[in-house]
Chain A
């Protein structure tokens, strides 16, 4: 197996996640916390995030399906999702969560619906990219972290 090439692919994918704004500085903190005693810590946290966020998004879907929209409840759910995104550095998702909450405050249901569709797309894309990244890491073995992008 071409481990060098796999490592290169993993590093490139990782860099693109930061360059395209999917991830922010918080993800570096997770990587810094990972050590030999917990070699899969980052993947573990990300897995927990996607499991829990999927549940929250199902709740939001149900709440949006109701005839009478409870904007307070929608805001509470989205606040939880935003907090979760913040903890793992899911930057684009976090930004869209903020927009959704603004729509809740304005009681703008169409805005909420559009925003939530975008959140679902971003969530799916991030999940696919991170799953690919961790799969490459597993195949390639541990790699050096890429240099941080300049601000």
Chain B
């Protein structure tokens, strides 16, 4: 975890209504949330010195997709937990090869997400 006790989360998805839903889900857990709309912006967040404990990563986004962003972040040595969330079931292997920690299909089930966060020790 980052030095703060609060779980710092980066939501990476080009769909604004999807980001709003994730924000609502995670806000209930008291997480601190930042949103970006593409993979490059996600990478830039880390390049500019921001630290996150958790990344929710969509796959299909403009400029840089989620698989490439995941690979880039791991190449930078970013240790944050990355949960890939996409409608593309076939991308599971690609995401794990790129370094994702977990994979969920959209639409995200609140309970399934909570179970993963518990497994990551982000929830009591």
A→B interface (CB under 8 Å): 26, 29-30, 32-33, 38, 41, 44-46, 48-49, 51-52, 76, 79-80, 82-84, 86-89
Interchain nearest-CB distance for A51 vs B (Å): 8
The main secondary structure of chain A at its interface with chain B is helix
Stretch from B15-23, B43-51, B69-77, B116-124 contacting the other chain? B15-23
**B21-39 Cβ-contact flags toward A at 8 Å (1 or 0):** 1001100100000000000
Q: Given the complex, which residues of B lie within 8 Å of A76, measured CB to CB?
A: 60
Stretch from B2-10, B95-103, B104-112 contacting the other chain? B104-112
Q: Given the complex, which residues of A lie within 8 Å of B17, measured CB to CB?
A: 45-46, 48-49, 52, 84, 87-88
**Interface assignment of B53: CB less than 8 Å from any CB of chain A:** no
B87→A33 contact, CB < 8 A: no
Q: Given the complex, which residues of A lie within 8 Å of B15, measured CB to CB?
A: 52, 80, 83-84, 87
Q: Which of B14, B15, B16, B17 has the most CB of A within 10 A?
A: B17
Q: Given the complex, which residues of A lie within 8 Å of B14, measured CB to CB?
A: 80
Interchain nearest-CB distance for B50 vs A (Å): 25
Interchain nearest-CB distance for A50 vs B (Å): 9
Cβ-defined partner of A83 (8 Å) among B20, B25, B28, B87: B87
